[in-house]
């Protein structure tokens, strides 16, 4: 095997074992309503049920019970230990709770999730476990307050935005309080695919109308994040927040050359409406944005994938490995390794994420769980 170095996994999903595990973190005023099942806090009803009945790898159910992603030991055994993963960024089960329709409940749930994650996962002795803080996006000022409330924790690595609640792309000025708070704390933003696939969600999934099938839903995942990236650049988010970084998670990779070429080609003609876009869009992109590798496009031939990725220079400095464990569309590290150019592997598996998350000091060699008991 060509790559033997450490890996950083930028997109892993953790979950609570059952409602009882999360309930103590929910504010008293909501606890009774949740306990009475007036509101579900567990897995929300999926608008696009997976054909296997669950959108997880079926071998990731922990032997002690509970849903995939709810047991540290199982995650260590299946992901961290065998693949020399020195850090993971945990991002809930995509954090769709932020997009539940009731904005007051959404805020209470998001705060509970953040407290639960810090308490149950990010305080573990296993110092490979880092996490995202979930932002409540109904009211951006509340998101900023939540970032300032928990964003100083040493193992919080980024601010997670599931897709938008307000019907506007994420560069819109209404969201800027979120970016001010994130920049203040030195935290990058992650926009993760998801938000529209649960019933009664306010997240918007794609243009062109609501998709009736999961195949449509899953295939057009990149569409929404492309819009958000475009919005970040045209609304001057990177100009207004000069130290802000953005990660686009779980939306594939090969569309990037098209989007960069399209933006750059039109910027001169369209500058009159957005004079604050002072540089080429591609320059902002390569300076501030990273993408996770998963789901790495499954071209029939490896050479086709490489040709697509190399069509615009510099993607080897932008891609950060992500497994998406324990979700069903996971990419195994060994699979990613077989698909990408060998010279890219140290950057994609490790260096790019280390730089993106500001983990500038050399990380210790990946511990095994025997050395770092949970």
Binding residue (CB under 8 A) for another protein from 320, 330, 357, 367: 330
Q: Which is nearer to another protein, 58 or 200 (CB)?
A: 58
Query: Any contact of residue 74 with another protein (CB under 8 A)?
Result: no
Query: Any contact of residue 332 with another protein (CB under 8 A)?
Result: yes
Q: How far is the CB of 298 from another protein (least distance, A)?
A: 8
Q: How far is the CB of 220 from another protein (least distance, A)?
A: 18
Of 18-26, 56-64, 175-183, 186-194: span binding another protein (CB under 8 A)? 56-64
Q: Which residue has the tokens 């993607």?
A: 315
Q: Which is nearer to another protein, 296 or 308 (CB)?
A: 296
Q: How far is the CB of 55 from another protein (least distance, A)?
A: 10
Distances (CA, A) of 92 to 28, 89, 127, 287: 22, 10, 18, 27
CA distance 106 to 374: 30
Query: Any contact of residue 286 with another protein (CB under 8 A)?
Result: no
Residues 187 and 146: beta-carbon distance below 8 Å: no
CA distance 193 to 89: 15
Q: How far is the CB of 50 from another protein (least distance, A)?
A: 8
Measured in residues, the chain has a length of 374
Of 80-88, 118-126, 326-334, 355-363: span binding another protein (CB under 8 A)? 326-334
Query: Any contact of residue 335 with another protein (CB under 8 A)?
Result: yes
Q: Which is nearer to another protein, 22 or 345 (CB)?
A: 345
CA distance 259 to 291: 14
Residues 22 and 41: beta-carbon distance below 8 Å: yes
Distances (CA, A) of 136 to 96, 111, 203: 10, 8, 12
Q: Which is nearer to another protein, 48 or 359 (CB)?
A: 48
In the region spanning residues 241 to 280, those forming contacts with another protein, defined by CB under 8 A, are: none
CA distance 12 to 330: 10
In the region spanning residues 204 to 243, those forming contacts with another protein, defined by CB under 8 A, are: none
Q: How far is the CB of 214 from another protein (least distance, A)?
A: 11
Residues 118 and 366: beta-carbon distance below 8 Å: no
Query: What is residue 102's DSSP assignment?
Result: -
Q: In the beta sheet, which residues pair with residue 56?
A: 327
Query: What is residue 205's DSSP assignment?
Result: -
Binding residue (CB under 8 A) for another protein from 157, 331, 340, 344: 331
Query: Any contact of residue 328 with another protein (CB under 8 A)?
Result: yes
In the region spanning residues 21 to 50, those forming contacts with another protein, defined by CB under 8 A, are: 50
CA distance 70 to 14: 6
Residues 121 and 129: beta-carbon distance below 8 Å: yes
Query: Any contact of residue 52 with another protein (CB under 8 A)?
Result: yes
Q: Which is nearer to another protein, 102 or 299 (CB)?
A: 299
Q: What is the sign, positive or negative, of the torsion defined by CA atoms of 171, 151, 354, 122?
A: negative
Binding-site residue total for another protein (CB under 8 A)? 13
Q: How far is the CB of 321 from another protein (least distance, A)?
A: 14
Of 100-108, 112-120, 313-321, 330-338: span binding another protein (CB under 8 A)? 330-338
CA distance 3 to 86: 14
CA distance 180 to 374: 35
Binding residue (CB under 8 A) for another protein from 45, 58, 265, 270: 58
* Residues found near another protein in the complex (CB under 8 A): 50-52, 57-59, 328-332, 334-335
């Amino acid at each position: 095997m060509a790559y033997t170095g450490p890996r950083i996994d930028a997109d892993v999903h953790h979950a609570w074992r059952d409602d009882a595990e999360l309930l103590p973190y929910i504010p008293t005023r909501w606890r009774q309503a949740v306990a009475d099942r007036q509101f579900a806090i567990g897995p929300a009803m999926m608008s696009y049920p997976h054909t296997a009945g669950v959108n997880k790898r079926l071998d990731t159910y922990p032997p002690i019970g509970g849903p995939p992603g709810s047991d540290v030991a199982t995650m260590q055994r299946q992901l961290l230990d065998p693949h020399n993963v020195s850090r993971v960024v945990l991002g809930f089960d995509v954090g769709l709770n932020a997009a539940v329709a009731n904005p007051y409940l959404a805020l209470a749930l998001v705060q509970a999730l953040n407290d639960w994650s810090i308490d149950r996962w990010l305080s573990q002795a296993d110092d490979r476990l880092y996490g995202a803080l979930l932002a409540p996006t109904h009211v951006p000022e509340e998101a900023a307050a939540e970032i300032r409330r928990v964003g100083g924790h040493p193992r919080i690595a980024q601010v997670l935005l599931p897709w938008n609640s307000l019907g506007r792309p994420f560069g819109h000025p209404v969201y800027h309080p979120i970016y001010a708070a994130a920049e203040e704390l030195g935290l990058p933003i992650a926009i993760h695919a998801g938000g529209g696939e649960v019933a009664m969600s306010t997240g918007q999934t794609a243009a062109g109308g609501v998709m009736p099938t999961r195949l449509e839903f899953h295939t057009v995942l990149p569409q929404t994040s492309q819009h958000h990236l475009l919005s970040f650049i045209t609304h001057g988010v990177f100009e207004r927040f000069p130290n802000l970084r953005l990660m686009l998670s779980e939306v594939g990779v090969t569309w990037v050359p098209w989007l960069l070429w399209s933006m750059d080609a039109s910027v001169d003609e369209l500058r009159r409406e957005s004079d604050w876009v002072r540089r080429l869009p591609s320059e902002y992109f390569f300076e501030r944005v990273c993408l996770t590798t998963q789901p790495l496009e499954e071209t029939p031939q490896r050479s086709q994938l490489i040709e697509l990725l190399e069509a615009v220079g510099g993607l080897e400095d932008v891609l950060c490995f992500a497994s998406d464990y324990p979700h069903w569309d996971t990419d195994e590290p060994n699979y990613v390794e077989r698909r990408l150019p060998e010279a890219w592997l140290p950057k994609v598996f490790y260096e790019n994420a280390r730089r993106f998350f500001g983990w500038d000091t050399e990380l210790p060699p990946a511990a095994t769980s025997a050395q770092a008991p949970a």
